[in-house]
A = this chain, B = another copy of it.
Amino acid sequence: MDARVREHAEVLVDWSARVEAGDDVVVDVAEGAHDLAVAVAEVLGERGATLTVLYGSDEVGRAYLKGHEAVAGEDGDEDDDLTGRFGEPSVDLALMESVDVYLRLGGGRNTTAAADVDRDIRQAYASARTEVREARMDTDWVSTVHPTRSLAQQAGMAYEEYREFVYNAVLRDWESLAEEMAEMKAVLDAGEEVRIVTEREDAPDTDVMMSIAGRTAVNSAASVAYDSHNLPSGEVFTAPYATEGEVFFDVPMTIEATRVRNVHLVFEDGEVVEFTAESGEDALASILDTDPGARRLGELGIGMNRGIDRFTDSILFDEKMGDTVHLAVGRAYDACLPDGESGNQSAVHVDLISDMSENSFISVDGEVVQRNGTFRWEDGFEG
């Protein structure tokens, strides 16, 4: 086995999930993540954790939903309460409620394996499982991916090339990155107003202001110890409000299976009042129309993982890339709000990304903290 698979498992178990002897751990393995599961199981054995292994197969999940779909169609009860069809997920709930740590090892064999499942069925299934999802979020959960051919294909890369890419992103010196991100967090925590500007010849300008007064930034250092649940991670994010101005997002995204490119949003009084997209504008419109909160920002994130050197059409990696910022319309994370308060509410949370490597800056309360992709504390920074 590639030694990096074992290193990945160690980072996941020790740095990210902070597993200790006696912890009850569930590992949820995608179809293509077998090798990583083997390495993770070995590390968990060494640490003295208990182990339960779930098979998180997209194809098995699709088949189950297609089975429901076939019968829901026959019954002619398509207008009925589809959610009721799925019953109480009492086994999964009992399982998730007794777990300390939940590790999701993504990496399937086909990223569109469930593409033909009826949307209503999918949503009804998700609704029926709200409590399971909530119980899972209450664990020390971490999500990562094993590099598979299918993910390489989605990234437009050769398999070996993609493996290099993933391990560059995952096998960082996390302790040192966490320290650097702490500086960014300190700036945002102390700040009241963020301005993001890019000026390019071939694209609309970005010039947007947002308030962050009273909000707390999260140092997303790929560890539950930092309230950060993705490996890789490497971003600092907060929950902005009162957004004014316009933003151009030049990084393509796949949102609900639709390719969305070159989104342009105009904000007034914290709300999106105009939007265009070069492609996928209907998908964008449908998201913004979900509920009132879907037109307000839920997140400002600043990518700081220099191990990620290109966009791969995967939010897990793209939004963490150094030299990028992302704004999410929709739901804010409670971690960014004062205790007991909630931020923007919405059923959606959709990230959009801008490349900040050229002709751009981020300033906080008028002081530039990043210019052309270089942070204030890095060599080559031009204030």
Contacts and interface: CB of A to CB of B under 8 A. Distances in A.
A12 interface: no
A292 interface: no
A44 interface: yes
A65 B50 contact: no
Contact of A67 (B41, B70, B86): B41
Contacts of A34: 31, 57, 59-60
Interface string A40-57: 011111111111111111
A37 B57 contact: yes
A89 B24 CA distance: 8
A193 interface: no
A63 interface: yes
Contacts of A42: 63-64, 66-67
A91 B22 contact: no
A178 B48 CA distance: 47
A57 B43 CA distance: 16
Contacts of A50: 86-92
Contacts of A39: 63
Copies of this protein in the assembly total: 2
Given A41-B63, A66-B42, A22 B87 contact: yes
A42 B34 CA distance: 23
Interface range for A: 35 or more
A214 interface: no
A52 B85 contact: no
Contact of A90 (B46, B64, B98): B98
Nearest to A50: B87
A67 to B, nearest CB: 2
A69 B55 CA distance: 25
A48 B26 contact: no
A65 B38 contact: no
Given A53-B57, A87-B50, A94 B92 contact: no
A155 to B, nearest CB: 24
A40 to B, nearest CB: 8
B46 A71 contact: yes
Given A57-B34, A57-B53, A64 B41 contact: yes
Contacts of A86: 50
Given A22-B87, A41-B63, 7 more contacts: A41-B64, A42-B63, A48-B71, A50-B86, A52-B91, A53-B54, A95-B98
9 contacts: A21-B87, A26-B91, A29-B60, A42-B64, A46-B67, A46-B71, A48-B87, A50-B90, A55-B55
